[in-house]
Amino acid sequence: MAEIVSPLPGTFYMRPAPDAPNYKQVGDSVAIDDVIGLVEVMKMFNEVRSEVSGKVLRYAVENEDPVEAGQVLLVIA
């Protein structure tokens, strides 16, 4: 099991735009370097990329939740 953590504090977004689907859903396959979400800091959107491959077990945060640097965002098996 692996965890993907936020690289910086900000607001986490599961999708690239309000009307777009989530980058990943529970059960989806994840490859190394896949985008799993965005962290917004002062109107700058930073992609969060996976450093591992596997399947999404669960998101540890909800869309638009405030997050801290190092906080778990996604759990992968």
Q: How many domains does the chain have?
A: 1
Residue type, 15: R
Say what the pLDDT of residue 5 is.
Answer: 97
Rounded to the nearest integer, the mean pLDDT of the chain is: 97
pLDDT tens track for 26-62? 999 999 999 999 999 999 999 999 999 999 999 999 9
H-run or E-run covering 54: strand 54-59
Instruction: Find, among 18, 14, 17, the residue nearest to 48 by Cα.
Output: 14
CATH number, position 71? 2.40.50.100
Predicted TM-score of the model (pTM): 0.92
- Residue 21 DSSP code: P
CA 65 to chain centroid, in Å, comes to 11
Which range marks the domain in which residue 72 is found? 2-76
